[in-house]
Amino acid sequence: MAQRNTATKLTPKHQALKDLEEARSLLGVHVHLASAEWSPRELLRQAVQKHLWVWVSASGVGGLFLWQMLMPSRRTKIGRDISDSSAKKSGLIALLMSPMLGMARQTALKYGTSFLQSYLQNHLSRHEGSPTPVREPNSHV
């Protein structure tokens, strides 16, 4: 009976450590259950089960949209020739944008050459090594 009293009688520090270990194990169980319940796969499964017709209709509309985007249009040459106004609009836009594109091209070329020149100067100066200074002999006349 003496052994039983010493085994059950713990110091407050040991009791707190034991309670902490029990709380951690219970918390681990709760975390595991919560992560299983709130996983994206489980949430999606529940949403599909709950709102099946919404998911079916949304996937159908999305499929039709993708079909329209991926399949080429069936317009004939005659249909394209009739709608000449869009061609005129694109020609006008091209005429207005061509000077802007030329200026942008020149600016990009100037920037690219200055950037390449500075990069090459920095890159070559790093790899040349430090030149040894040439000492001129002191001449005492």
Confirm whether 123 is domain-assigned: yes
What is the reported pTM? 0.33
122: which 2 tokens? Answer: 């920095």
Nearest CA to 44 out of 66, 59, 61, 27 is that of 59
For residues 77-81, give the mean pLDDT: 54
Apex CA 39: angle with CA 38 and CA 42, to 5°? 90
d(CA 116, CA 111): 8
pLDDT at 1 over 50: no
Of 5-19, 63-77, 110-124, the range with the lowest mean pLDDT is 63-77
Q: Looking at the 3D structure of the chain, how many domains does it have?
A: 1
For residues 110-118, give the mean pLDDT: 87
Range of the domain at 99: 88-127
What is the per-residue pLDDT for 133?
Answer: 53
